Structure 1
Amino acid sequence: MSQISFPYSTPIRPASAADETYHLALAYREETENFRKIAPAVIEQLSARHLFRMGLPKSLGGWEDNPTETLTVYETLASAEASVSWIVWNNHLACTFGRFLDSSARQEVFNNPEHVYANSARPEGVAVQHAEGYTVSGRWTLVSGCELADWFVLRCRVTSDEAQTPLSSGANLKLFFIPKADVDVIDTWHVGGLRGTGSHDIVVTEAFVKPEYAIDFDSPVDTDNRYNRLPIGCINAAGCAAMALGVLKAATDELVGLCLERVTAGKSPDLRDRATVQAAIAKSKTLLAARRLQLHSSVETLWNEAVKNNTFTDTQLADVWAAACEAARASRDMLSEIYAVAGTVSLYKTHRIERAHRDIYAILQHGIVQPHWMNQAGMAYVGLTPTAPMFRI
Structure 2
Amino acid sequence: MPHQAPQQASASQPETMAQLLADIRERHAEFTRLRHIPRDIVDRLKQQGVYRASTPVCFGGSGMAPADFLQLVERISQADGSAGWVASFGSAAIYLAALPRATQAILYADSPDLVFAAGVFPVQPATAAAGGWQVNGTWKFASGCKGADVLGVGIGAGAPGQPGAKVRTAVLPPAQVEIVDNWDVMGLSGTGSHDLKVHQQFVPEEWTFLRGGEPAIDEPLFRYPTLAYAAQVLGAVNLGIARAALDEIGQMAGGRVAITGAPRLADRSYVRIEVAKAEARLRSARHFLYETTGETWRAILAGDPVAPEQVAMLRLTAVEVARAGYEVVDSMFTLAGTTAIYTSHPLQRYLRDAAVVKQHAFLGEGVYDGAGAVALGVPPMPGFL
**TM-score scaled by length of structure 2:** 0.89
1:323 aligned residue: 317
Contact 2:292-2:314 at 8 Å conserved across structures: yes
Greater displacement, 334-343 / 110-119: 110-119
1:97 equivalent in alignment to 2:110:
no
Contact 2:212-2:227 at 8 Å conserved across structures: no
Contact 2:166-2:212 at 8 Å conserved across structures: no
Write the letter of the residue equivalent to 1:105.
T
Contact 2:163-2:382 at 8 Å conserved across structures: no
Count matched residues: 370
Contact 2:223-2:300 at 8 Å conserved across structures: yes
Distance across 1 between alignment mates of 2:199 and 2:162: 23
Could you tell me the percent identity over the aligned residues? 26
2:340 aligned residue: 346
1:258 aligned residue: 252
Distance across 1 between alignment mates of 2:374 and 2:154: 28
Specify whether residues 206 and 158 from structure 1 end up closer, same or farther in structure 2 by C-alpha distance, changes over 3 A only. farther
Write the letter of the residue equivalent to 2:120.
A
Contact 1:127-1:158 at 8 Å conserved across structures: no
Contact 1:251-1:335 at 8 Å conserved across structures: yes
Cα deviations by residue, 1:120-155 (Å, 9 ceiling, x for unpaired) = 332432221112211111100111112221211221
Q: CA deviation at 1:249?
A: 0.6
Cα deviations by residue, 1:70-104 (Å, 9 ceiling, x for unpaired) = 110111111110111111112422x1111111222
Q: CA deviation at 1:197?
A: 0.5
**TM-score scaled by length of structure 1:** 0.87
SS for the counterpart of 1:64 is coil
1:68 aligned residue: 67
Indicate which of 188, 198, 201 corresponds to 1:207: 201
2:190 aligned residue: 196
SS for the counterpart of 2:339 is helix
1:304 aligned residue: 298
1:10 aligned residue: none
Write the letter of the residue equivalent to 1:197.
T
SS for the counterpart of 2:179 is strand
Distance across 1 between alignment mates of 2:166 and 2:316: 29
2:139 aligned residue: 140
Distance across 1 between alignment mates of 2:202 and 2:234: 33
Unaligned runs of 5+ in 2: 1-14
Distance across 2 between alignment mates of 1:219 and 1:365: 25
1:128 equivalent in alignment to 2:122:
no
SS for the counterpart of 2:138 is strand
Matches of residues 359-374 of structure 1 in structure 2 within 5 Å? 359-374=353-368
SS for the counterpart of 1:42 is helix
Indicate which of 289, 295, 299 corresponds to 1:295: 289
Q: CA deviation at 1:280?
A: 2.0
Indicate which of 101, 106, 109 corresponds to 2:107: 109
Distance across 1 between alignment mates of 2:215 and 2:357: 30
1:185 aligned residue: 179
1:33 equivalent in alignment to 2:32:
yes
Matches of residues 76-95 of structure 1 in structure 2 within 5 Å? 76-93=75-92, 95=93
Q: CA deviation at 1:108?
A: 2.2
Contact 1:91-1:118 at 8 Å conserved across structures: no
Q: CA deviation at 1:53?
A: 2.6
